[in-house]
A and B are shown apart, each in its own frame.
Chain A
Amino acid sequence: MDVVNQLQRQFIDYSASLHREGFLDDQFTQLQKLQDDNSPDFVVEVASLFFEDCEKLINNMARALEQQQGVDFKQVDASVHQLKGSSSSIGAMRVKDVCIAFRSFCEAQNREGCLRCLQQVTHEYSLLKNKLQTLFRLQQQILAAGGSIPVVE
């Protein structure tokens, strides 16, 4: 089945590029391995949860940083910490890296730095979201064409 093969190759290449560019790391591969017949949509599920969570946390951080009367850095830090945890759990490497920098700005109570990091996080998150959606679409196409998702090592 040419179509399937083509799609599968596309999938593999795309996956590899995501890894290469640092969007995803090994943890994501682990997630993919966890997916099986019992939980066929596991990766998509986790990713969706992550996106939701991410948006919520980003909003929290934005709100906290906007406070004119005094930024509650602890709250920001708590949100960043959580984002760091969930991004590392899903394998969103770039997001996680920004979080690490973000945390040091929080500790230093540097509002400007935090705002910049927030922007970066938002940016990375959107990028990742798009890329994962593309990946998932490819997966669906493969399945629809009767093929199976290749395991990318």
Chain B
Amino acid sequence: MTVEQIVSEGKDQFPIGMRVLAVDDDPTCLLLLGTLLRRCQYHVTTTSQAKTALKMLRENKNKFDLVISDVHMPDMDGFKLLEHVGLEMDLPVIMLSANGDTKLVMKGITHGACDYLLKPVRIEELQNIWQHVVRRKKKDRCNSGSKDKPHPDSGEDAGIGNVDNNGKLNKKRKDQNEDEDDERDENGHDNEDPSAQKKPRVVWSVELHRKFVAAVNQLGIDKAVPKKILELMNVEKLTRENVASHLQKFRLYLKRISCVANQQANMAAALGTADSAYLRMGSLNGLGNFHTLAGSDQLHNAAFRSFPPSGVLGRLNTPAGLGIRGLPSPGTIQLGHVQNSGNPTNDLSKLQSFVPGNHNTNILQGMPMSLELDRLQHNKSVGHIGELPTTDSTTVFPGSGSLVDARITGFSNNPLLGVTSNSLMLEGSSQQATSHTSVSAIGFQNGNALSDFTLIAPASNQLQDSKADSQGQASLINCNAGQIIRSAPQEWNAPRKDAPYQSHALINSSIPINSAMIQLGQCLDRNNSIFHRTTDLDSVGPLNFVDPLSIKQSEGDNYIMEPSVIEKEGYLMFQPRPHGSHVPDNTGSLKDLASAMMKQEDDLGCNGYSLRTSI
């Protein structure tokens, strides 16, 4: 099969006529880019909106050969777009930016970009971009060719193994790429009809991905090999290659998360809490994502708008994935944790209840756990989606009080959070009707962060099983005592100009909390403050319900953090308090909440994972 045959839909002058989609919010740059590309004789489509670009790509996956995208865009982060495209369409993506920081470039690579160009872009650079298309096609071909060969599945990274079996091209790629940055290697997608020249791509829908994650969890991340996963998934027309490449991506994602988790672990370690609950929580959090997402009606939508799910996580966290669909009633909190890297880091290991190695891989499935918290008051509490910063800092999300109006707080750009790679998925629970907010799981994918889904819903008083889905079940924790709120003063980096969200930080509200909790601290910023906050938590002592009212002044912030850990699937909640404020009712409620939760824990079935893994 020649390249031309593969690429052309009647065109055999490749690279002439290669179909490029160019995305850049800056009109000057977009015009220039378009003109340059046309000068290279490509067939160019331009758009200034990332969302439009995605739409176009989704409409017809075979319409484009290559995507070039700016990194900084107002409606969607370039890295997120990159992940989406990589996961959904498997097209080569080239990043473009005026900023050539090594870190950013690295980020681009880890998110799967084939190339990273600096503005102003020159025509010479564009003249060679077609190579990325060729490379990918060749890889696809090779991989599909290997379909019939037995692969060494046992215990090794089959995804990569798959690639490894394929000759020099892949090898070369491996050499060129970083370890595991083999997003380009995914080729399984096109294997449904080996005889077709242009293979249809497999779309990893939410459902499919959920099954995948469930299968992986069932097998255990270390033992998850494509063949077995495929068997467990039992999906027609899905090939081992499809699974293998998806697994590869998945591991990449996990690895990314583990970096953050590592950070978290370190932090947690620093925090010095030996409390298992905390640790547990820590690990969950450590993974870096505490998200409380309570969606109030508007916010919910808004949140969704502003945080498009990114890539893997996004998909994991889709409503389906999170299994949060249709939260049964208001006040359900579903906690989904996404997490893990296949490689537990040293520090992380102790925290790793979730580490995939410990069979906590389910996290990625976004096992939703619903916690139902009692709403003590009909406050507007806000759930925040917090995202823990990825590599450098952990963000702690102080919970805000009532979950009633859980809102997703916007986060300003938090570079640590992996600005670009976060995807926050808010899944709106359908219950917006009541003043309770149903919280939907939020999948967060922070470039390096773990995504965590936490949903906080106004507490209702029941435990319910969240919709069990293949991934797990959500358990509702009935907390009569209070609300668990997590506010995440965190910068959501997804859209860079997430200014509106910043202001939302609902965290800002001091919500009167009767039973518990929490005032949302508003942290919209820097990692350090977040970091401080986290450390403060530490100083607060073990975060658990038992000592809900340790209030300490966070350094550098005006918050008093009062962590209350609700250890329910590693749900960490704590509330930052505005300086000097005091929540009088906390104690009682927190304690009640704590005990309620403790009790509930046993009742809750956690599918597939126990958060309490030994640390």
Contacts and interface: CB of A to CB of B under 8 A. Distances in A.
Given A46-B28, A53-B27, A72-B502, 18 more contacts: A30-B120, A30-B122, A34-B36, A34-B39, A39-B35, A45-B31, A46-B32, A53-B26, A72-B499, A74-B412, A78-B497, A85-B70, A85-B72, A85-B97, A85-B119, A88-B98, A90-B32, A90-B120
A78 B496 contact: yes
16 contacts: A31-B32, A46-B32, A46-B35, A74-B413, A74-B496, A75-B499, A81-B98, A81-B99, A85-B29, A85-B72, A85-B119, A88-B119, A89-B26, A89-B28, A90-B120, A91-B120
Interface string A88-129: 111100000000000000000000000000000000000000
A52 B31 CA distance: 13
Interface string B387-414: 0000000000000000000000000110
Interface in B68-98: 70, 72, 74, 97-98
Contacts of B497: 74-75, 78
Interface residues of A, number: 25
Contacts of B32: 31, 46, 89-90
Interface string A18-45: 0000000001001100100001001001
A89 B39 contact: no
A50 interface: yes
Nearest to A90: B28
A117 B412 CA distance: 23
Nearest to A54: B28
Contacts of B235: none
B409 to A, nearest CB: 15
Contacts of A72: 499, 502
Contacts of A145: none
B46 to A, nearest CB: 13
B106 interface: no
B123 interface: yes
Contacts of A30: 120, 122-123
A84 B36 CA distance: 19
B525 to A, nearest CB: 8
A3 B372 CA distance: 84
Main secondary structure of the interface of A (DSSP, over half): helix
Interface string B203-231: 00000000000000000000000000000
Interface in A39-82: 39, 42, 45-46, 49-50, 52-53, 72, 74-75, 78, 81-82
Nearest to B497: A78
B22 to A, nearest CB: 13
A85 B98 contact: yes
Given A53-B26, A88-B98, A89-B119, A81 B72 contact: yes
Given A74-B413, A82-B26, A88 B35 contact: no
Contacts of B502: 72, 74
Interface of A: 27, 30-31, 34, 39, 42, 45-46, 49-50, 52-53, 72, 74-75, 78, 81-82, 84-86, 88-91
Contacts of A84: 98
A49 B499 contact: no
Nearest to B499: A75
A89 B33 CA distance: 9
Contact of B120 (A78, A82, A89): A89
Contacts of A45: 31
Interface in B3-36: 25-29, 31-32, 35-36
B120 A27 contact: yes
Contacts of B28: 46, 49-50, 53, 86, 89-90
A34 B31 contact: no
Contacts of A90: 28, 32, 120
A9 to B, nearest CB: 29
Interface in B81-132: 97-99, 119-123
A74 B499 contact: yes
List the 4 closest A-B pairs by CB distance, nearest first: A85-B98, A86-B28, A89-B120, A50-B28
Contact of A88 (B31, B36, B70, B120): B120
Nearest to B73: A82
Could you say which of B29, B39, B120, B496 has the most chain A C-beta atoms within 10 Å of its C-beta? B120
Interface in B121-175: 121-123
Nearest to B27: A49
A85 B26 contact: yes
Could you say which of B28, B39, B72, B121 has the most chain A C-beta atoms within 10 Å of its C-beta? B28
A133 B374 CA distance: 67
Contact of A78 (B31, B35, B72): B72
B321 to A, nearest CB: 31
Contacts of B31: 45-46, 49
Interface string B416-450: 00000000000000000000000000000000000
A72 B497 CA distance: 11
A89 B29 contact: yes
Contacts of A50: 28
Contacts of B120: 27, 30, 88-91
Could you say which of B25, B27, B31 has the most chain A C-beta atoms within 10 Å of its C-beta? B31
